[in-house]
Amino acid sequence: RKPKINATRIGIAPGPFCLYLPAAKRQFATNGHRLVEQGYMQLKNSNFVVQTQDMERLVIAPKFLSELRMLPESKLSHSAALVEKNLGFYSSVDTILESHQHSDVCRVQLTQNLPHLIPAMSDELDFAMSQFFDACNSEQFTAYPTYGCVLRPYPPALRPLLRPFLAPKSRMTGILANAQKVLIPAIEARQISKNTYNDLLQFLVETYKDGQPMPIILKLLVLTAAALHTSTMAAVNALYDICARPEYINSLRDEAHAALSTDGGSWQLSTIKQLKRLDSFLKESLRFTQPDTRKLFRRFREGEANFDSVGFNRKVLSSVKLSDGVTILPTGTFINMAAGPMSRDPTFYDEPNTFNGYRFYSPDGGAAQPPAHDFTGIEPGNVAWGSGRLTCPGRWYASAMNKLMVASLLVCYDIQFPEGQSTRPPSIYSDGTIMPSPTQEILFRERPVRAF
Ligand code: HEM
């Protein structure tokens, strides 16, 4: 049964017998980000309700974040919200309800192994760049598409009926069968082998005691969904921001050269840690476009990846009374924070509508800088990585990977938008989500190889 939520509604109400539900959903589909913005501006210190495409959501006022972020999973559940949101039963995302293994291997093994992983990631990146940019030369710029994506084609009510008829590649069973074909032999080999590998599959095999391959495969797929699209979108946005603000390029490139010089020209974790300006630039870029996993797990099912104007997705599993003494969040309520509007609120950031790539950079080398000001840090107003107990456990890996990628591109290539373009392409807004343009091209020109 739908919980009764007592808060101001923004946008069309579903009305008696849900007569206006389709209209409310349509409104959110086309104008969701504006509704969230409107609710936040009008009622910043109060909660408000919006009808999204899938469910009614209570958007919580920022003043309550500190008391909600540390509540246990038994009261406010991120996993339950994701599973319900993403039809976990069909998509197998419900694997995340079994344990926190998927999260723990990121927080512990993946992060601890970063010093060993970076050189391998750098080799992989060199190989990928040589393949992808094969036509690129030092004489002239060559255009490459920055990003591509597929849109989800079927309405929710029809999905169970259509599932058996969808093209095999888009069927979960087909995807799982392919994954099994590739991964079962790899998992079995690793279970008996004495060799250890430094990768997520190995971390999952080592920490999963039961030994059955299927739960490991599902968790690896969930992690792939959580990791790839968030990081890709953050990198695409950063590249757009760099091309739109070429005045940052030399300073970011000089920083990368200086860091590489101290490490003999090869990328190590220590090299990446020196990229303080890039750290700030990536954080500012993320502030301007707030991603979150609410939709990302859908990619696991159907192929969509977006950024959202709301974040901190939780399902209330046991009713919560807020500190104002009157507001009760009933069991079953889906709650969110207004991530996008919060990130541009002058309460949290000076001149929030100005892009300041070095907003979080402290020239004294960062000694005086609070850790919250790092790319992976969580300062008030920032829910881009989530908040509290379930803050993204892959953020140190994501940070290292994106810095490696952006810095390597700047070292190896001159980059710019196509001739005549000086601003970012408009993002795409749909169903409260924000996606960087999937069609924008960027021009690349090889830079002379530098000796370190
Ligand atoms: C720029 C890149 C990324 C962004 C912006 C991002 C953002 C987020 C956000 C907002 C959440 C929800 C946290 C909450 O609501 O408190 C989350 C959860 C999660 N992220 Fe990330 N993420 C990124 C990259 C990654 C990567 C690279 C990995 C894995 C290698 C990863 C693994 C996860 C997992 C496993 C969860 C679920 C945690 C749980 O439910 O316990 N993420 N991420």
pLDDT of 96-141, one tens digit each? 888 889 999 999 999 999 999 999 999 999 998 988 888 899 999 9
pLDDT at 434 over 90: no
**What pLDDT digit, counting tens, does each position of 289-344 carry?**
764 433 333 333 333 333 467 889 999 999 999 999 999 999 999 999 999 899 99
pLDDT averaged over the chain? 86
Q: Give residue 325's pLDDT.
A: 92
What pLDDT, in 10s, does the model give residues 197-220? 889 999 999 998 777 899 999 999
Q: How far is the CA of 417 from the centre of ligand 1 (A)?
A: 30
Give the separation between CA 382 and CA 371, rounded to whole angstroms: 13
Query: Higher model confidence: residue 154 or residue 14?
Result: 14
For domain 8-446, give the CATH number. 1.10.630.10
Q: Whose CA is nearest to atom 6 of ligand 1?
A: 385
Report the residue among 77, 99, 230, 335 best suited for mutation to probe ligand 1: largest number of ligand atoms under 8 A from its CB: 230
Ligand 1 pocket: which of 293, 374, 404 to mutate (most atoms <8 Å of CB)? 293
Any ligand 1 atom below 6 A from CB of 225: no
Distance 445 CA to ligand 1 centre (A): 33
Determine the pLDDT at residue 362: 86
| Burial of 9 per CB tally in 10 Å (0-12, 13-18, 19+) | middle
Q: Which of 52, 61, 51, 47 is nearest to 342 (CA)?
A: 61
CB under 8 Å to 38, separation ≥6 — which residues? 10
pLDDT, greater one: 174 or 10: 10
412 is in an annotated binding site: no
**Which residue's CA is minimally distant from atom 19 of ligand 1?**
392
- In this structure, the residue with its CA closest to atom 20 of ligand 1 is 392
Q: How many CA atoms lie less than 13 Å away from 150 in the CB half-sphere?
A: 10
Global pTM reads 0.89
* Ligand 1 atom closest to Cα of residue 312: 15
| Alpha-carbon gap, residue 447 to 139, rounded angstroms | 9
**Structure confidence at residue 391 as a pLDDT band (50, 70, 90):** very high
Ligand 1 site, residue 95, Cβ cutoff 6 A: no
State ipTM.
Answer: 0.98
Q: Where are the alpha helices (DSSP H) in 249-373?
A: 249-262, 269-273, 276-288, 293-301, 339-343
Contact 201/186 with Cβ under 8 angstroms? Answer: yes
Is 289 a pocket residue for ligand 1 (Cβ < 6 Å)? Answer: no
Atom of ligand 1 nearest to the CA of 102: 35
User: What are the residue ranges spanned by the domains of the chain?
Assistant: 8-446
Cα torsion 28, 30, 32, 34: sign: negative
Q: Is the CB of 227 under 6 A from ligand 1?
A: yes
